[in-house]
Amino acid sequence: MSSKSDREKSTQIAIILSGVFPGMGQFYVGDMAKGAIFFIASVVLDIYLLPEGYFAIIQGKIPLTLELYLRILVLVLFRVAAVLDAERSVRRLNKAMR
């Protein structure tokens, strides 16, 4: 009988978690240090690049300029990196468990 920690982790869950909150997929896999780095970096980037907040963009309170598009692009690329890292971490963990 295997314990819960001995079971393979779901790639889909790690991807979804990291897509919603960067770092959470890494926490799910058990990589606490990398998860903390991604999570803190995500918060810092959000505050630095979008101090107005996401809702201000959605509500049209911020003009859609090239600068805004570039800031959003940086945030999207960071999230993609977090998702890809979470996927790679799950695959590595599951391979090591076999």
Over residues 35-84, the pLDDT tens digits come to 999 999 999 999 999 888 888 888 888 888 999 999 999 999 999 999 99
Residue 2 lies in a domain: no
The number of distinct structural domains making up the chain is 1
Residue 46 lies in a domain: yes
Residue 50 lies in a domain: yes
Distances (CA, A) of 24 to 17, 48, 54, 82, 92: 5, 21, 20, 9, 17
Q: How high is the pLDDT of residue 94?
A: 93
Residue 77 tokens, joined: 């690329």
Query: Which domain does 85 fall in, by range?
Result: 9-97
What is the Cα–Cα distance from 1 to 79, expressed in whole angstroms? 37
Rounded to two decimals, the pTM is: 0.84
pLDDT in tens, 15-49: 999 999 999 999 999 999 999 999 999 999 999 99
| DSSP reduced 3-state for 33 | helix
Residue 87 lies in a domain: yes
Q: Which residue has the tokens 């300029």?
A: 65
Residue 23 lies in a domain: yes
Residue 4 lies in a domain: no
What is the Cα–Cα distance from 45 to 51, expressed in whole angstroms? 9
Residue 66 tokens, joined: 């090239």
